[in-house]
Amino acid sequence: MKGAMKNLFECKRCGFCCHGETTVSLDDEDQERMIAALGMPREEVAEKYWRITGSCVQMKVVDGHCIFYKDGCSVHPGRPGRCRQWPLHEAILLDETNFNIIRESCPGIDQDVSYARFCELVKEYNSKKEPG
């Protein structure tokens, strides 16, 4: 994260967003980025790290967290777009409740930031798609 965002969000590496029984899904661009970062053939990456259900590709879950979570993200340069975007999720723009839930779950967000200010950041980030 850069600029103004740096003052309002700084990941504390608590791992909350990497836990759960499913992960974000990977689109084609995410898959190619991850393959390049791991430096392995697609088949090997798919077998070791992906859970493929029909056309949906997610990362495997091990012990209740994403397979890449090891005191932080072990595939950081190759992580999916949704992980890069977090916590600037578009759902925040729809409802302040979504913002409150995300803010409470992510200790990296300045807990005093206003809803209006955070909406501005979400819009700014998503218009630039700046790598995190």
- Positions touching ligand SF4 (CB under 6 A) are 11-18, 23, 59, 66, 68-69, 73, 75, 79, 83, 86-87, 106-108
Backbone phi, psi, residue 119, to 5°: -60, -40
Burial 56-65 (b: 16+ CB within 10 A, else e): ebbbebeeeb
Shortest Cβ 54–ligand SF4 spacing (Å):
21
Backbone angles phi, psi at 25, to 5 degrees: -95, 155
CB of 121 to ligand SF4, least distance (A): 14
**Minimum gap (Å) between residue 75 Cβ and ligand SF4:** 5
Q: Which is nearer to ligand SF4, 20 or 41 (CB)?
A: 20
Measured from the CB atom, the residue of 53 and 74 that comes closer to ligand SF4 is 74
What is the SS3 assignment for 40? coil
Asked if 22 contacts 61 with a C-beta cutoff of 8 angstroms, the reply is: yes
Instruction: Provide, rounded to whole angstroms, the least separation between the CB of residue 130 and ligand SF4.
Output: 16
> How distant is the alpha carbon of residue 30 from its chain centre?
11
Q: Which is nearer to ligand SF4, 4 or 62 (CB)?
A: 62
